[in-house]
Amino acid sequence: MRLKALDALRGIAALMVVLYHCWQTLDGALADGIRAALLYTPLKPIVGARPAVVLFFVLSGFVLALALQREPGWRGFALRRVARIWLPFAFSVLLSAGLLLLLNPQPVADASGWFNGDPWAMPLTPAVLARHLLMLGDVEGTRLNVVMWSLVYELRLSLVFPLLLGLAALPLRWLVPGMLAFQLAVDAAMRAAGLPLAPFHGEGGLAALLTTLHFANCFLLGCVLALRLAAIRAALLRLPRWAFVALWLPAVALQMPSIDATCTLGAGLMMALALTRPGLLEAPPLLWLGRVSYSLYLVHVPVLLAVVHGLAGVVPVPWAVALVPGLSLLAGWGCYLAVEAPTAAWARRLGASSTTTPKVAVA
């Protein structure tokens, strides 16, 4: 099974999230000009990262389906998944907490309202740190590393993943209408509860449940692709090359509204195309980016906060922000080597104590 192209897609998506938070830190005419220039282009995730995060969810469903097929036992799978997600995440939270204590940040005059009012916008107490490490998923439990909201749903849905894999094996004539009806029902319940249909956090038990269910179809679509990949690739390979290339247009277009349901479909189509004819997605720089993508995703917000606060009053905010992508790539590489790779190796050994270790990395 060729998964290199999916690594590259994940790396590109992670870089888009980094650039999004860089853009979100800017204020005034510069931020408005960048948004106007990119809003109706394939680079829209730089000014609205929703499609990138939805792609992460569909990718996880695909790769986890392959892993669970090779290792049917739930216990070893769950232990590995918790270790694989939580340990590097915990490192990123502790890193952010340490930088917060070191820098004692104050509001930065030329930075955006988001930068001054969301990340690091709370006193650091043992209770606040505990809320983060427990991954409760509420707003006050994500301010040390705002990207962690997505990891909450990654972990929750991973723990019930065998159920999703079983549903994905149903005939498509039942599964597709069922997925549509489920999404409509969950979204209707969210509207009734006053929750946004592009959710981030779940404040309270009902909101946590509904927002988790809202993302279930992302993972389920990844399962469907994994179970039927051979047939999908065969169908795509029968297309003339021009028709195959043309399918990238709807794959990108479905991302443009930043609606979770259309982003999910676009992500699935993009993955199917990438796995059929990967092309430039197998270029070494993109494969390296994919390898460090999880670490990059975890550390770039602490890097952004440290650089902008650390250079406040020394250089203009846009100059400080310009340093962040490169520094984040270096920090992500370091985190991968020092934390993520050893953690992944230990997680595989942890699962192997009770079951056979899968050959597919779950990232």
* pTM reported for the whole predicted model: 0.93
Q: Which of 346, 342, 340 is nearest to 363 (CA)?
A: 340
Low-confidence ranges of the chain (pLDDT < 50): 1, 356-363
For Cα atoms 150, 180, 235, give the angle at the middle one, nearest 5 degrees. 90
* pLDDT score for 360: 36
* pLDDT score for 72: 62
Kindly tell me the sign of the dihedral angle through the C-alpha atoms of 146, 108, 122, 299: positive
* pLDDT score for 358: 37
* pLDDT score for 351: 59
* pLDDT score for 352: 63
* pLDDT score for 3: 82
In the block, residue with structure tokens 């309202």: 113
* pLDDT score for 110: 93
Give CB contacts under 8 A, 24+ apart, made by 271-274.
271/6, 271/9, 271/55, 271/58, 271/59, 271/62, 271/222, 271/225, 272/225, 272/229, 272/232, 272/233, 272/236, 273/236, 273/244, 273/247, 273/248, 274/5, 274/6, 274/8, 274/9
Which residues lie closer than 8 Å to 57 by C-beta, 6 or more apart?
150, 153, 154, 215, 218, 219, 222, 264, 267
In the block, residue with structure tokens 């569909």: 58
What is the C-alpha separation between 343 and 362, in angstroms, rounded?
12
* pLDDT score for 353: 59
Amino acid at 2: R
What is the C-alpha separation between 178 and 213, in angstroms, rounded?
14
Q: Which of 153, 165, 4 is nearest to 73 (CA)?
A: 165
